[in-house]
Amino acid sequence: MTRFIPIAVTAGRGLCGPVVAACLLAGHSRAAFWIFVFAALTDLIDGWLARVLGSDRVLGAMLDPLADKLLGATGWIGLLWVGWAPLWLAGPLLVRDAVVAWLWRHYRGQGVLWQANPIGQIATSYEGTAIAVLLFHGPWLGIHWPSVGVGIGLHGLLLSAVSAIQYGIEGPPPAVLPTEQSAPGEPLAAPSLAR
């Protein structure tokens, strides 16, 4: 039964997204902030738990990016709704998430798990940090936190553009879906093919 803990952690992260947005819309911004931070931190442990507990790698590999996108997208939507995020920042990131989700589904139908490139992973980290800072909203230490959040988000947006250009030039890194027989310590993706 412990094999399902990582899947539950990942699913819980995704389900926290609508809760964050609902808290924000209800005026409970501190609760939204802490739930988002907690959910984002679970992304650091679910993969490790899956390897340690021998969890279902196929389901985890499919559920993890979905949970990440759900948490981020609902965070941006909630921030837009209450006016705490500018449309010029959140809009392109939401469109990017929709395009990535479509491409992920398209390649998944061909038996390929589209792995994020390193720049895309860094961009996603900036995006999550920006959402957390915008949810925090201040005041604290005399710093205008919304400006800090927008600045961090802008870095994430620019890195997302660089990542998209890299995908356009090189294409997605080829990776085969893991199988049920994959060893717990074995990497999820096959190494990228040289071009």
Q: How many CB atoms lie within 10 A of CB 57?
A: 22
Domains of the chain plus CATH, in order, are: 2-170 (1.20.120.1760)
Rounded distance, CA 188 to CA 113, Å?
9
The model's pTM = 0.81
SS3 state of residue 86: coil
When pLDDT is cut at 50, 70 and 90, the band that residue 179 belongs to is: low
Encode pLDDT of 20-61 as tens digits: 999 999 999 999 999 999 999 988 888 778 778 877 666 777
Question: Residue 37 in 3-state DSSP?
Answer: helix
**Predicted confidence (pLDDT) per residue in 82-118, tens digit:** 999 999 999 999 998 888 888 878 877 777 777 777 8
138-174 pLDDT per residue, tens: 778 877 888 889 999 999 999 999 988 887 788 766 6
How distant, in Å, are the alpha carbons of 57, 115, 181 from that of 60?
A: 5, 13, 14
